[in-house]
Amino acid sequence: MSPRRPAQSARSLRRLVPILDWLPRYDRGLLAGDLAAGIAVTAMIVPKDLGYAAIAGVPVQNGLYAAAAGAIIYALFCTSRQISTGPSSSLAAVAGGAVLVTSVAGDAAAELVAGITLVTGVLFLLLALLRMGWIAQFLSRAVVTGFLAGAAVDVAIGELPKLTGTSADGDTAWQELGSWIGGLGDVHWTTLLVGLAALSAILALRYFRPKLPGALALVVGGLVAAHLFDLGSHEVALVGTVPGGLPAPQIPSLDLMMDHLSTIVIASVALLLIGFSQTAGDARSFAARHRYRIDVNQESVAQGMANLGAGFFQGMPVSTSLSASSLNESSGARTPVASLTTGALVLATLVFLAPLFSELPQAVLAAIIIDAVVFGMIDLTELRRLYRVTRFDFWIAGAAILAVLSAGVLAGVVIGVVLSLGWLIYVATRPAIPVLGREPGTQVFRDLVENPDDETLPRLVVLRLDGGLFFATAEALEERIRELQDGADPPLRTLVLDLEGVNFIDAQGAAKLTEIEELTDAEGISLRLARVKPNVRAVLQADGLIDRVGNDHIHGNVHRAVEASSASGGGWPDGR
């Protein structure tokens, strides 16, 4: 065997599992900061992960299973030094939507969510293998903003009955809200008192003591109150049995997976789209601030392995948590040792503290969930920005919100993708094609709508296509030319097409230019092309259009094309 092969294999293994490269060179001077960050993040995520599990419709301990597996396994494969990986409100909402659609419960719900998590992990690995990060672009930012806001409202409505000690049902958020309102006559007043106190406390901590781990304080306070006032004997619903100990590896039932395959696939694709966009953006942001490089494909591998581990150990989907990652960074995390610390502490919590959560009032857990989704998923700043900057994007976000509330979280994802693709098709098939005029006293040609005082010549139109000329835009160009031709008075004699903005042309685009040349020739209109890029010209040459138009009708800029079209070589008021 060549001596090079073991060395190459070792390098390949270190690339796949980066911890093998950086851990032997770990700077012990960073240990204090990493440990402090791991402790701080654990204090923040443990109570929240209980709530995320409730959102997903699985036992609360499963949220901790996912948190431990996600944090430890991500640290083995990641290239980011500050990212904290674990369950999040948005991922839990998607998983919970799948549970609602399939109407499974109990152990079957836990298996379903674990199966979704495993499939999500496989999709992350395929994304890295095929380098298909562009797939995340199928959800526009406006749609994601609206989807998350709608999912937050949907989850919050689902938690309201726990605050009032009542019940509610319905297939949509609107129906569930109506059912809850209709059942308010049966409010359990002790539960309502606990719920309002919990909600008031966590909101007060958020506004007046934002640096304190509000969810942790609320869990401790809820457990103390449950013991002091014996809330269980007063018919206040409690979380119930939470077993201690570590999770056993388990593969979800194949029959269950096959029975709900379509739901699992849809949920997994949604989790991939949301998770990848969060991971890529957050990892780049932290890397830029701390001046190191990350590998986005390797980050996909890390997230994929973290999800496989979480699913294998009965957990739920995991991804980047921006709030936890920000706390990780601000608390001193400089390497993934912080993530390993978090994972180890969550495991310790499962072994030694998990049974304590059995006495937690459900109303307290509901308050934690409502706080997490409202402040973690509803981005009012972005919605205001969309309204101010691009009104259409704001209405797209609004449509996504209504889709989630009216059809459910899972259907809302599908509708969101359709909205994104519809918007993409709309934009792609309607490129800007402005008429240009000349800025007085110059050779500069500009959009006449934006500069109505610019100069034009009779019987001549300069038209600019802003975008590629291909199957989706070819018809729009012809329609624009026919519109100008029909409305011209006096009739057109010269058409100058400015192709500066055309970076790409396909066979259908070239064929359409040939049709336009035939149309203008039949009408006695001289067609001239200006600022044709080399790659576009090569396609037109291959299609024979250059020979039809003639090299003398192809110009380096618009001014030369207009000048050549004038028999006198001038025609402008200033004689240029």
| pLDDT for residue 571 | 53
Grade residue 427 by pLDDT with cuts at 50, 70 and 90. Answer: confident
When pLDDT is averaged across residues 380-402 and rounded to a whole number, the result is 91
Q: Which amino acid is at 492?
A: L
Grade residue 141 by pLDDT with cuts at 50, 70 and 90. Answer: confident
Grade residue 132 by pLDDT with cuts at 50, 70 and 90. Answer: confident
Asked whether residue 567 carries a pLDDT value surpassing 90, the answer given is no
Q: What is the pLDDT of residues 302-351, one digit of tens each?
A: 999 999 999 999 999 999 887 889 999 999 999 999 999 999 999 999 99
Q: How many CA atoms lie within 13 A of 308 on its CB side?
A: 15
Q: What is the pLDDT of residues 195-210, one digit of tens each?
A: 999 999 999 999 999 8
Distance (Å, whole) CA 546 – CA 453: 34
Distance (Å, whole) CA 299 – CA 325: 15
The reply to whether omega before 490 is within 30° of 0 (cis) is yes
Q: What is the pLDDT of residues 266-308, one digit of tens each?
A: 999 999 988 887 777 788 888 888 888 888 889 999 999 999 9
Asked whether residue 570 carries a pLDDT value surpassing 50, the answer given is no
Please list, in sequence order, all residues whose beta carbon lies within 8 angstroms of the beta carbon of residue 159, skipping any fewer than 6 positions away: 366, 369, 370
| pLDDT for residue 205 | 93
User: Which residue, among 454, 434, 446, 462, has the nearest Cα to 572 in the 3D structure?
Assistant: 454
Can you say whether residue 166 is alpha, beta or left, with left for phi > 0 and alpha for psi between -120 and 50 degrees? beta
| pLDDT for residue 296 | 85
From residue 347, give the alpha-carbon distance in Å to each of 42, 55, 193, 224: 10, 21, 33, 23
Distance (Å, whole) CA 430 – CA 467: 9
Please list, in sequence order, all residues whose beta carbon lies within 8 angstroms of the beta carbon of residue 392, skipping any fewer than 6 positions away: none
Grade residue 565 by pLDDT with cuts at 50, 70 and 90. Answer: confident
| pLDDT for residue 3 | 55
Longest Cα pair distance anywhere in the chain, in angstroms? 101
Distance (Å, whole) CA 104 – CA 109: 5
To the nearest whole percent, how much of the chain has pLDDT over 90?
68
| pLDDT for residue 574 | 54
Residue keyed to tokens 């706390």:
327
Asked whether residue 76 carries a pLDDT value surpassing 90, the answer given is yes
User: Which residue, among 211, 240, 247, has the nearest Cα to 70 in the 3D structure?
Assistant: 247
Distance (Å, whole) CA 531 – CA 557: 5
Q: What is the pLDDT of residues 220-249, one digit of tens each?
A: 999 999 999 999 999 999 999 999 999 999
Query: pTM for the complete prediction?
Result: 0.83
Asked whether residue 373 carries a pLDDT value surpassing 60, the answer given is yes
| pLDDT for residue 568 | 40
Give the pairing type, strands 85-86 and 319-320: antiparallel
Question: Three-class SS of residue 87?
Answer: coil
Q: Which amino acid is at 76?
A: L
What average pLDDT does the chain have? 90
Q: Which amino acid is at 362?
A: Q
Q: Which helix (H) or strand (E) holds 476?
A: helix 474-487
Rg, the chain, Cα only: 30
Let me know: does 339 contact 110? Beta carbons within 8 Å: no
Angle between helix 391-407 and 409-429 (nearest 10): 150
User: Which residue, among 212, 208, 165, 176, has the nearest Cα to 364 in the 3D structure?
Assistant: 165
Q: Is 48 exposed, middle or buried (0-12, 13-18, 19+ CB in 10 A)?
A: buried
User: Which residue, among 61, 112, 123, has the nearest Cα to 87 in the 3D structure?
Assistant: 61
| pLDDT for residue 13 | 78
Candidate from 27-31, 419-423, 519-523, 547-551 with smallest mean pLDDT: 419-423
Asked whether residue 138 carries a pLDDT value surpassing 60, the answer given is yes
| pLDDT for residue 289 | 87
| pLDDT for residue 569 | 44
Asked whether residue 115 carries a pLDDT value surpassing 50, the answer given is yes
Distance (Å, whole) CA 555 – CA 497: 10
Distance (Å, whole) CA 327 – CA 377: 17
| pLDDT for residue 467 | 86
Can you say whether residue 173 is alpha, beta or left, with left for phi > 0 and alpha for psi between -120 and 50 degrees? alpha
Distance (Å, whole) CA 196 – CA 162: 11
| pLDDT for residue 572 | 56
Distance (Å, whole) CA 117 – CA 121: 6
User: Which residue, among 334, 321, 318, 338, has the nearest Cα to 282 in the 3D structure?
Assistant: 321
